[in-house]
Amino acid sequence: MTILQEPAFAKVNLTLDVLGRRPDGYHDLKSVMQTVSIRDDVTLTLGTGEPWRLTCNWEDIPTGPENLAWRAAETFFRNARRDPGGLTIDILKRIPVQAGLAGGSADAAAVLRALNRYCDFPFSILALAELGSLVGSDVPFCVLGGTAMVEGRGERLRKLPDLPECFFVVCKPDFSVSTPELYEKLDRTAIAKRPDHRAMESALLAGDLAKVAENLWNVFDPVVTAEHLELNYIKSICNTYGSLGQQMTGSGSAVFAMMPSFEYAAVVCNMLKDNYPQVYIARSV
């Protein structure tokens, strides 16, 4: 038996624009995504000689072929024309679920990276990201990681300059948002403000953290905040205690704040933790 271990990092959306509905029912996006250090740990055991199995320390996570990590393994072996001779996937989950942090996609990307390494790199990183797009929209970015412009359904990636060292506070409130319903709601809403991608790219190129924070914008944020005013409460705590900028990530419901130092992040974390057990300090990765 062979045991492979791989970290799976969460993402936040520094920007997120929804451009329109496609013929396949999905929406085209344009988003600057950033990997952050909240991580799951994925362990693969190959050659078990038994039927495939998936375990996870969080009860609500599906443990069958519908889990993105399982689908990633299937997709990899099919395309690499290999057979692991039995596989167990163990996921130690720390990334909050239904949060907009791409936890499931991060696990899937970790599976792809680990298997590609084990098989001596049959796929380039971009080919591996392309395989990821067969598994889920956020998987290609999670394969690449870092700071990147993501377009289409998530399959078109362009590496951007790394975000300068930055601490994030990430806070997941107790409610979740249905992603399909949110897209439908957005279809019925006139989008009043969209992210300024040119300004965001310039800020990244200049390594100007304050400007990056100034240009955070996610078109889903006002739609979700209108129904869940508690997001404003979380954002106002972040803002009051020194955040450079804050907003919801992905389709929510987690909010992240960019903090100027670990110390500031610790203060915000302390202010939120009594009301919000799922609050974390993270670094950009």
Which alpha helices (DSSP H) does 63-154 contain, by range?
A: 68-80, 103-118, 125-133, 139-144
The angle subtended at Cα 34 by Cα 32 and Cα 35, nearest 5°, is 155
Q: Contact, 98 vs 180, CB < 8 A?
A: no
Name the active-site residue from 17, 40, 107, 138: 138
- Judged by CB under 6 A, the residue of 53, 82, 94, 153 near ligand C5P is 153
Give whole-number Cα distances, 258 to 32, 91, 127, in Å: 15, 28, 32
# chain residues binding ligand C5P, by CB under 6 A:
9
Binding segment (CB under 6 A) for ligand C5P, from list 78-86, 109-117, 177-185, 199-207? 177-185
Both tokens of residue 131? 């395989």
Scanning residues 112 to 151, which ones bind ligand C5P (CB under 6 A)?
136-137
Question: Looking at beta carbons only, is 27 or 185 nearer to ligand C5P?
Answer: 27
Shortest gap between Cβ of 6 and ligand C5P (angstroms)? 22
Question: Looking at beta carbons only, is 137 or 246 nearer to ligand C5P?
Answer: 137
Shortest gap between Cβ of 172 and ligand C5P (angstroms)? 16
Class of residue 87 by CB neighbours under 10 A (exposed 0-12, middle 13-18, buried 19+)? buried
- Judged by CB under 6 A, the residue of 179, 202, 239, 275 near ligand C5P is 179
Shortest gap between Cβ of 262 and ligand C5P (angstroms)? 32
Residue 36's contacts (CB-CB under 8 Å, 6 or more residues apart) are: 9, 10, 11, 12, 101, 168, 170, 256, 282, 283, 284, 285
Name the active-site residue from 11, 93, 172, 235: 11
278 touches ligand C5P by CB under 6 A: no
Question: Looking at beta carbons only, is 51 or 180 nearer to ligand C5P?
Answer: 180
Cα–Cα dist 215/203, whole Å: 8
Q: What are phi and psi of 28, to 5 degrees?
A: -80, 135
DSSP code, position 263 = H
Question: Looking at beta carbons only, is 62 or 161 nearer to ligand C5P?
Answer: 62
Element (H, E) at 101: none
Neighbouring CB atoms inside 10 A of 121's CB total 11
Shortest gap between Cβ of 22 and ligand C5P (angstroms)? 8
Terminal-to-terminal C-alpha distance of the chain: 31
Cα–Cα dist 268/279, whole Å: 9
Scanning residues 20 to 49, which ones bind ligand C5P (CB under 6 A)?
26-27, 29
User: Catalytic: 11?
Assistant: yes
183 touches ligand C5P by CB under 6 A: yes
Question: Looking at beta carbons only, is 133 or 243 nearer to ligand C5P?
Answer: 133
Shortest gap between Cβ of 168 and ligand C5P (angstroms)? 22
Element (H, E) at 153: none
User: Catalytic: 172?
Assistant: no
Binding segment (CB under 6 A) for ligand C5P, from list 42-50, 127-135, 175-183, 275-283? 175-183
Shortest gap between Cβ of 110 and ligand C5P (angstroms)? 18
| Contact residues: ligand C5P, CB under 6 A | 26-27, 29, 136-137, 153, 179-180, 183
Q: Which residues are catalytic?
A: 11, 138
